[in-house]
Structure 1
Amino acid sequence: MPIESGRIARAHDLYTRAVFQGEAEGLTTADGLLDAVEADLSLERGRVLHAKFLGDREAGGDPRELVHFEHAATLYRALGDERGEGEARFWIGTYHQVVTGDVALAFPFFEHALELATKTGDTLTMSYAKRHIAFAAQEAGNLAEAREQLEESTRLRRELGFGAGVAANLLALAFIARDDARTGDARALLDEATAEANAAGADGVKAWIEASRAEF
């Protein structure tokens, strides 16, 4: 049976050594390798379910999404993988905030995710955590905090060259400007968001922007 390269192949090699060469001490390492694969798989399965939710917005979403994210976080924590744990905890928070609308439950997960991402240099997860912390602040009516968090998220995304994410953030900043009665700024941000989406080839984000223009 062919085994692909990477951690599964390494685990398979350790299994072979244990069975045929008596090197059983490698099996603990094999367990860790497979736990890491399982954690990555769980995280991605959760994200796929979240994307499906964003596509149809079915009330309550799919509860398996949360199960996958929580399982990934547990595995990453056991492995001592703080970067992976931070990413998984961000997604747990996102499930609570976006799917079930429970911002109070979501917020500690965003804070923990930001802490771990900052510690491990995971700039992308930092940008996501700050974006969703901004949404919580906006919902609470704290527009200054929301704007600060989103602007920092946008700066991080520009550094990463994540144009689609920049466009999405500019759209969110436009809504904050609208809520803050800065109508001119809001429209300028929408135009900038469109330009960023076009440059990134982010047709999905561009559709969000165009659908939002009637609200400004």
Structure 2
Amino acid sequence: MLGPDTDTELRAEIAVDRWFFRIEHHEEAEKAVAALDPASPTAHILTGRLAYSRLLFKHEPRPDDRAVAEAAYHAAVASGDEKQRGWAEYHWAVLLDNIDQDAAGALPRYETALEIATKTGDAYFESYIIRHLAPHREPAERLAMLRRSLHLRAALGARPQTIAAQAFLAANLPEDDPERAELQQISRSGAEELRIGWLLSEV
């Protein structure tokens, strides 16, 4: 439980992450984001993520969600510090990649985000970027990137993200690979325990 003195930006980030992983409490996440300074980079990024998530999960998407997400990421790129700019570039790339199927538009933004993550030594951020870059690489490099993403998350103790990385790595292994079955079993068990809604619909 978050106390009444919890920082409003942290409260909003946690609310959006909870919605994103569990696919529940969307209204609570919206209220938390609405409490932020609307001109702040954090508000821009979280507004974009909420709009993107409604499109991705087909959860009551709004007619302007696509435009809202891109405008929010554009604003965050222009107003944030280097790390915030990196996250905004990453989320913008994911929007282009997953919603528009525009790999050509997404890849330069992924690369910009990866450059910032590497420069700042942010392993957590790197794990996100390379997980999304991996599908655009040849099979051997793809698996190496997915394994690195998994190892980075595990080393940081980021359990929900580690479970997601296990599931995605499994999906990219041959069907007769014993590691695939083991990863599927482990990730499903973890997803059930943590109630990771979007993952339970896939694994």
Structure 2, gaps ≥5 residues long: 9-35
Specify the alignment match of 2:49 in structure 1.
47
Gaps of 5+ in 1: 8-33, 211-216
Q: Is 1:208 aligned with 2:201?
A: yes
Q: 2:140 aligns with which of 137, 144, 147?
A: 144
Quote the residue 1:108 is aligned against.
Answer: 108
Aligned to 2:165: 169
CA distance in structure 2 between the partners assigned to 1:168 and 1:121 by the alignment: 22
1:121 is displaced (CA, Å) by 2.6
What residue is the counterpart of 2:67 in the other structure?
Answer: 63
What do you get for the CA RMSD once the two structures are aligned? Answer: 2.9
| 2:172 counterpart letter in structure 1 | I
> One-letter code of the match for 1:194?
R
Cα 1:43/1:187, change in 2 over 3 Å? same
- Kindly state the Cα deviation for residue 97 of structure 1 after the two structures are TM-superposed: 0.4
| Maintained 8 Å contact 1:114/1:129 | yes
Rg larger for: 1
Q: 1:153 aligns with which of 138, 149, 153?
A: 149
Q: Which amino acid in the other structure matches residue 184 of structure 2?
A: L
d(CA) in 1 for partners of 2:65, 2:38: 26
Q: CA offset at residue 101 of structure 1?
A: 0.5
The 1:159/1:167 distance shift into structure 2, 3 A limit, reads same
Cα-to-partner distance string for 1:99-127 (whole Å, 9 max, x where unaligned): 10111211111111011012123222211
Give the AA of the match of 1:70: H
Q: When the two structures are superposed, what TM-score results if normalisation uses the length of structure 2?
A: 0.73
Native 8 Å contact 1:198 1:206 kept in 2: no
| Cα offset, 1:44, TM superposition | 0.8
Counterpart contact for 2:192–2:200, Cα < 8 Å: no
Give the residue type in structure 2 aligned to 1:43.
Answer: I
Structure 2 match to 1:193: 187
Q: Relative to structure 1, is the Cα distance of residues 105 and 182 closer, same or farther in structure 2, using a 3 angstrom cutoff?
A: farther
Rounded Cα–Cα distance in structure 1 between residues aligned with 2:181 and 2:150: 18
Report the Cα distance in structure 2 between the residues aligned to 1:202 and 1:161, rounded to whole angstroms: 18
May I ask how many residue pairs the two structures share in their alignment?
170
More divergent stretch after superposition (67-76 vs 118-127):
118-127
Distance 1:54 1:135, change over 3 A: same
Identity of aligned residues (%): 25
